[in-house]
Structure 1
Amino acid sequence: MQLNWKESGLRWYWVVVVVFLADQLSKQWVLANFDLYESVKLLPFFNFTYVRNYGAAFSFLHDAGGWQRWLFTAVAVGFSVLLTIWLRKQPANMVRLNLAYTLVIGGALGNLVDRLMHGFVVDFLDFYWNTAHYPAFNIADAAIFIGAVLIIIDSFSASSSDDKAIKE
């Protein structure tokens, strides 16, 4: 049965807009106020540090010669289209999954714009403990991570409820 946008997961697309705007505005602020590698300590375990990521998560393929920019662009567009199609097909009351998909889409589009405009992704959230630093990331990365975790949680929840339905 075809759902209209109010009944479908597309009703949650406002999350995409919020994530995208928060991500892009934060990155523009960093670009306007920080020099590359400039760092400001905010907490004993957290800095604002402007770095460029030419690769994907954890700088994967950052030194691959430039082709990775187009690969990650295609992946971002592909996943965004696929997740939007899935949103269109599922009911709006599937809160966890709709939120997960829209977080991933918003994050993917935020990083996509960076890749297309700059050739790299602007990262600036730098968490660390003593001298061990977690790789710097941004709001888009955080949204993608949270969305992925929600998808994983949902997959276990759905399978356990399916198991209950089969047993009954």
Structure 2
Amino acid sequence: YLAARTPPSHVLTRIGFALIVGGALGNLFDRATYGHVIDYILFHTPVWSFAIFNLADAFIAVGAVVVVFDELIGWRREAKPSSD
């Protein structure tokens, strides 16, 4: 719904929504095929292991950041007075 209502001029928002949908479809495919989502990326330090995820999770997270970022810069763009 939000992707369809986003104006064509908000290219970053559309890219962000595409990343979110792509990541969700990737996780859905894993869930339908294997019965669970396969995580294969691990951030590991000598002291602590954390953030086990897959590429679909990364797409969802990056897409959300892109959408929020574009909304913030869009808000700042609209707040500037025009030079008409």
Q: TM-score, normalised by structure 2?
A: 0.81
Does 2:77 correspond to 1:158?
no
Corresponding residue for residue 38 of structure 2: 122
- Contact kept in structure 2, 1:107 and 1:141, CA below 8 Å: yes
Percent identity at matched positions? 34
List aligned pairs for 1:81-96, cutoff 5 A. 82-86=1-5, 90-91=7-8, 93-96=9-12
- Residue 109 of structure 1 deviates from its aligned partner by 0.4
SS at match of 1:121: coil
Which segments of structure 1 move beyond 6 Å, counting only runs of 4 or more? none
**Shift in CA distance, 85/106, structure 1 to aligned 2, threshold 3 Å:** same
Q: Is the radius of gyration larger for structure 1 or structure 2?
A: 1
**Shift in CA distance, 118/160, structure 1 to aligned 2, threshold 3 Å:** same
Structure 2 stretches of 5 or more lacking a match?
none
List aligned pairs for 1:16-165, cutoff 5 A. 82-86=1-5, 90-91=7-8, 93-165=9-81
The Cα RMSD (Å) is 2.1
**Shift in CA distance, 160/95, structure 1 to aligned 2, threshold 3 Å:** same
Q: How many residues align?
A: 83
Q: TM-score, normalised by structure 1?
A: 0.44
Bigger RCO (CA 8 Å, 6+ sep): 2
Paired residue type of 1:114 = D
Corresponding residue for residue 36 of structure 1: none
SS at match of 2:52: coil
Structure 1 stretches of 5 or more lacking a match?
1-81
- Residue 83 of structure 1 deviates from its aligned partner by 4.6
SS at match of 1:134: strand
SS at match of 2:80: helix
Paired residue type of 1:85 = A
